[in-house]
Amino acid sequence: MRKNDVGNPGAGTGETPKLNPSPSERAPQLKKSRTITAGDGAAAAAVAAAGANFQGPLFPAWRRSATSPLNLTVAVDDPSDAPASGVLDRDWCYPSFLGPYPSRPRLPPPPKKKQLDPLPIQPRRASAFQKPPDRAPRSKPPKSFEDAKGVVVLEERKPAVGSSPPPRLPARKTRRLPNSVILLTLGITSIWSAFFAISQRNKILELEEEIINLRRICNGSCVDDCDSTRVLQFEDRDLMYYFGSVDGRTLALYTVVLSLVTPFFLFKYLNYIPRIKSPTKDSKNNEEEVPLKKRIAYRVDVFFSVYPYAKLLALLFATVLLIGFGGLALYGVSDGSLSEALWLSWTFVADSGNHADRVGVGPRIVSVSISSGGMLIFAMMLGLVSDAISEKVDSWRKGKSEVIERNHILILGWSDKLGSLLKQLAIANKSIGGGVIVVLAERDKEEMEMDIAKLEFNFMGTSVICRSGSPLILADLKKVSVSKARAIIVLAADENADQSDARALRVVLSLTGVKEGLRGHVVVEMSDLDNEPLVKLVGGELIETVVAHDVIGRLMIQCALQPGLAQIWEDILGFENAEFYIKRWPQLDGMRFEEVLISFPDAVPCGVKVAANGGKIIINPDDSYVLKDGDEILVIAEDDDTYYPGLIPEIRQGFLPIGSNPPPKYPERILFCGWRRDIDDMIMVLEAFLAPGSELWMFNEVPEKERETKLIDGGLDLSGLTNIRLIHKEGNAVIRRHLENLPLETFDSILILADESAEDSIIHSDSRSLATLLLIRDIQSKRLPSKEAKTNTMRYTGFSHSSWIREMQQASDKSIIISEILDSRTRNLVSVSRISDYVLSNELVSMALAMVAEDKQINRVLEELFAEEGNELCIRPAEYYLYDQEELCFYDIMVRGRERQEIVIGYRLAEAERAIINPTPKTERRKWSLDDVFVVISLEE
C-alpha cells in the first residue's frame, strides 16, 4: 500500500470501506477541535474565510502525538467567533488523568514577518464521521490559507483499525566499553607495575654488588673491602633483609595505604566487577540478576545469623588486621624492627594511652589511628560481652534454661487450682524433706513466680521451678525433663470446657511423642465427662483422668443428701490429715481381712489390691478374704511412713443395738439453680440415691424445649426416670422477682450450680453464685418462722438422737444450701461470713489431682467412692453401733461395724466442730453418746 493510501483502508485492496464504522473502529478525535482533510471542502472554505478576517501567526503551532500520518487540526479561541461550519474554539488538549486545566492566557500576535510558503501537509485518511469515497483519493497538495485567530496544528493520528502501522527504524546501538573491563585492566596493570618495580630493584642491587666486587678486585684496599662488606650486608637480596632497608619501609607504608584504600574502592565499584556466568545458562534469560554487593551482604547476614560465634570471630579477625597493618605502618614511619613495631601496635590497641610518648608527625598519626581502632574494637568487645551476659540473664529470668532434675513432679498449664495443688504436693513431700515441682506454662516466668509468692505458704523444703513454654512443643517439654518426671499433671485451662479438653488432648498427644518415653504417669484434668474416653484412648495406660465437673457434681449431691459429708471429703482428699495409701506387707500373707482390719494401730484398712486379679482394688471386702502373695493393703493413714502392722489386740465383741437397721427413705424435693453441662449425669446420680416420688426442680435461663434436647443428647432417658420427677422453671437466678416465684421454703436441699453461661470467667461465675445465695437466704428468712418458734421436724426418724445431723438438717431454717464456688478465695470469704451451709470449690479437685499424682492407683478408689453404685462414704448415728454411755474403744466399734458390712474410719463427737478420721490410739476406751456420729465406708444397697 502506498503512503498516500493510508487514510483509506480499502484502497488498493478492492475492499469497500464501511459506511458506519463501529465506535471502536473510529479514529480518536481531539477535544474541541476538527480535523481538516483534503476532501473536506466546506471545512477548508471555513478555514479560509477565518484566515481572511483574522491574521494568524506566520508559522502555525503543531505537535506530534502519534506515529500515524500527519493530520491538520484547526481550533479557534472564542466559541462566539466560530463560523457556521462547526469549527469550535481552540482548547489545549491535556491527558485525561491530569484533570481539567484552565484556558491559557491569550498572547499578543507576533510581529508580521515575511510570509513563507506553507509546509506541505500529507493527506489524512477518511474521517469516521464522513462518508468514505468510492475510491481512494489521490494525494494532492493542501491549499495554503492564513488564520489570524486560529492556529494550524500538525498532528499525528493513530491509524484506523485494519491499517498497518508504519515500519519502525531499528534503534542505533552504541558500543561502549564496560567499566568492569577498565577496572580489571587497571588492576592488572597496577599489579604488574609493582612486580616490575621489584624486579628492577633486584637488578639494581645485583649491579651494585658487581660494582663493589669489581672495586675490591681492582683496588684491593681495606677500606673498600670494609665498605663492600658493609654494603653487601645492608643490600642483601634476601627478602628479610630487603624489608630491613629504607626502601623496604617505604614499601611497607605503601602496602598499608593500598590495603586500606582498596576495600573502599572495591565497595564502591563492586557491582562493576564482571560476573562469572555458567556456560550452561540460557543466554535468552533476561531476568535481572542480583547485584554482587547485595549477594555479599546477604552471605554475611546469613553467616552472622547461623553461626553463634560469628561476631566473636569477626572481632578477632578485625583485631588481628588492625595489629598487622598498624605494625606495618609503624615500621614504615619509625626506625625500629618489624617485630618491635607489631608489639607496639598491640600495646596501642590494648591501651590507648601508650601512644603518648611518640615523637614525630608520622609515628603520632599512625599511633593515634591504631589507638582509635583499638578503642573501637574494645568497645565492640565490651558490647558483645555485655550482650552475651544480658542474654544469658534474660534466658534465666524468662525461664529458657533447661531443668536438670529427676523424680520431680511436672505441672503443665496454669489455672486458679495451681495454688491449692502446690500446697497439697508440698505437704505430701514433707515426710521426705521436700521435693521438686516444675511448672511449665505459657506465661512469663517472673509473673508465675510472683503469683506463687502471693500464696504466702511455707512449702516445707519443696522447690517450685517455673519455666515459660508451651506443652505442645516437644523442645519445651524436653527443657523441663519430661521423660524423667515421676508424675505429670495436665491442668485444665480457665476457658470453655470443650476448648480446655481439646487442648488437654493435644498435650497428651505431645507427651506420647516424646522419644525418650515417659517414666511416670500422666494425670489429666478434664472438664467434660464425655471427652474422657477419647483422652484415655490416646494416652493408654499411662493416663489417669480426673473430671472436675463430675467430681464437684457428685460431691454436691452426696453432701445434699448427707449433711456434713463435705468436711469429711476435705479431710480425706487433702494431705493435711489422713488419706489413702497402698502398700505391700508380706507378714500379713495368709491372714483373714477381719484380722488385718485391727492389725494397724495407726491406720484403718479399707480394702485389698488383689495381685491375682490384675491389680484390682476391692474396697470393703468380705471378712473371710485371705491375703495371698503379692496382695497389697489399702489404708487410711496420716502418712505413708507413719503406720505399720502390729499385734492383734483383744476385742470385746458385744452386740449391736436392737432396731439399728437403716430407716426407710422418704421422697425429697431438691432445687437446682443454674445449668451445668453435665447436669444429665447429676440427674442419673439422684435417680439412684433418691426414693420414689421425689421431685427435682430445675431453675435456669435455658428454654424448656432446649433443656430436653440437651438432656437427651447427654444420654439421659427421660422416660426411664422412676424415682424423680423433673419440674422445669425458667428464670434468672440473680433476679429477686424470679426467685420469689419459687416455693423456696419447701425444698429439702438447694444446689447453687456454677452456670454454664459464665464458665469462661471464674470471678463472674462466683459472683452469680454468691448473689443467688444471698437472695435465697433473704427470701427464706422472710417466709419462714424463727427457729425458736418452729417445731423440729425430722426427715429421718432414725436420727432423732443425732444433734449434729439435726443441726445440719435444720440449716437455713429448712433447706440445706450447697454452693459451688470455683475460686478458693471466694470460698474462704463465704465460709468466714457463714452465709452458706456448705461450700464446694475447685480446691477439692486440686486435692484429688495431688493424690492421684502421688499414686495413680488412688484414682480407682476415688472413682468408686464418687460413683452412684458400689461403696461410698456415709455418716451413721451412734445408735447403730452402741448404747448410750457405753464404754468402748475404737477397735470395738470397728468390729461391730463389720457386722453391718461397713468399715468405720472415724467419728465426730456431739460437742466437737469437726470429725476425726483415723483416730489414735484405737485401744483407748471412752464413753460414747447417742448424739455422736460415725463416718463409715458402706456398700449402698
pLDDT single digits (tens) 523-573: 999 988 888 889 988 888 889 999 988 888 888 888 888 877 888 888 888
Per-residue pLDDT, 183: 63
The whole-chain average pLDDT of the chain stands at 74
Question: Would you say the pTM of this structure is higher than 0.85?
Answer: no
Are the beta carbons of 405 and 439 closer than 8 angstroms?
A: no
Position with higher pLDDT, 680 vs 356: 680
Query: Which amino acid, residue 517?
Result: G
**CA geometry: angle at 94 spanning 93 and 99, to 5°?**
125
Contact 280, 271 (CB under 8 A): no
**In one letter, which amino acid is 229?**
T
The pLDDT confidence band at residue 273, using thresholds 50, 70 and 90, is low
Between the two ends of the chain, the Cα-to-Cα distance in Å is 114
Which of 770, 866, 284, 766 is closest to 557 using CA atoms? 866
pLDDT 10s digits, 102-126: 444 554 555 554 444 444 444 444 4
Sign of the CA dihedral with 426 first, then 428, 430, and 432 last? negative
Count of all residues that appear for the chain in the document: 941
- Average confidence (pLDDT) over 297-322: 81
**CB contact at 8 A, 9 and 163:** yes
Label residue 634 by pLDDT band (50, 70, 90): very high
- What does the pLDDT read at residue 851? 92
Give the per-residue pLDDT at 368: 85
DSSP class of 159: P
pLDDT at 907 over 70: yes
Query: What average pLDDT score do residues 718-736 get?
Result: 91
More confident residue, 746 or 266: 746
Per-residue confidence at 588, pLDDT binned at 50, 70, 90? very high
**Segment 884-905, tens digit of pLDDT:** 889 999 999 999 999 888 999 9
Average pLDDT over residues 27-41: 46
The predicted-structure confidence for 45-98, as pLDDT tens digits, reads as follows: 444 444 444 444 444 444 444 444 444 444 444 545 444 444 444 444 444 444
Q: CA geometry: angle at 375 spanning 371 and 376, to 5°?
A: 120
pLDDT of residue 910 exceeding 80: yes
- What is the identity of the amino acid at 13? T
Q: Which residues pair with 153 in a beta bridge?
A: 73
938 in helix, strand or coil? strand
Single-letter code of the amino acid located at 427? I
pLDDT for 383: 80
Lowest mean pLDDT among 331-340, 422-431, 688-697: 331-340
Contact 216, 225 (CB under 8 A): yes
- State residue 803's pLDDT score: 45
CA 40 to chain centre: 79
Residue 149 has pLDDT above 80, yes or no: no
Q: What is the pLDDT of residues 15-25, one digit of tens each?
A: 444 444 444 44
Report whether pLDDT(413) > 90.
yes
- What residues contact residue 920 under an 8 Å CB cut-off, 6+ apart? 601, 602
Confidence of residue 141 (pLDDT cuts 50, 70, 90): very low
Is the confidence at residue 302, as pLDDT, over 50?
yes
Distance of CA 252 to the CA centre of its chain: 59
pLDDT band of residue 11 (cuts 50, 70, 90) is very low
Q: What is the pLDDT at residue 140?
A: 45
For the record, the C-alpha cell of 668 comes out as 425429697
Instruction: Please determine, for residue 585, whether its predicted confidence score (pLDDT) is greater than 90.
Output: yes
**What residues contact residue 386 under an 8 Å CB cut-off, 6+ apart?**
none
Please name the helix (run of DSSP H) or strand (run of DSSP E) that holds residue 869, with its range, or none.
Answer: none
pLDDT band at 197 (very low <50, low <70, confident <90, very high): confident
Report the 3 state secondary structure along 45-87: HHHHHHHHHCCCCCCCCCCCCCCCCEEEEEEECCHHHCCCCCC
Higher pLDDT: 458 or 255? It is: 458
What H or E segment, with its residue span, contains residue 567? helix 565-573
Which stretches within 801-889 are classed as H helix?
803-809, 824-833, 842-854, 858-866
Omega prior to 921 cis, within 30 of 0: yes
Q: Give kind and range of the element (H or E) at residue 698.
A: strand 694-700
Rounded mean pLDDT of 664-676? 88
DSSP state at residue 797: G
| Contact assessment for residue 671 and residue 743, using Cβ atoms and an 8 Å cutoff | no
Per residue in 225-241, pLDDT (tens digit) is: 545 444 444 444 444 44
Average pLDDT over residues 640-655: 83
More confident residue, 338 or 605: 605
Mean pLDDT over 126-136 rounds to: 44
Helix axes 292-306, 310-333, angle to 10 degrees: 120
Amino acid at 563: P
In eight-state DSSP terms, residue 175 is -
Model pLDDT, residue 231: 44
The span from the CA of 47 to the CA of 52, in Å, is 9
Q: How many CB atoms lie within 10 A of CB 317?
A: 10
Kindly list the distances between the CA atom of residue 881 and the CA atoms of 4, 797, 940, in Å, as whole numbers in the listed order. 132, 17, 18
Query: What proportion of the chain, given as a percentage, has pLDDT over 70?
Result: 68
Q: 555, 658, 561, 570: which is closest to 875 by C-alpha?
A: 561
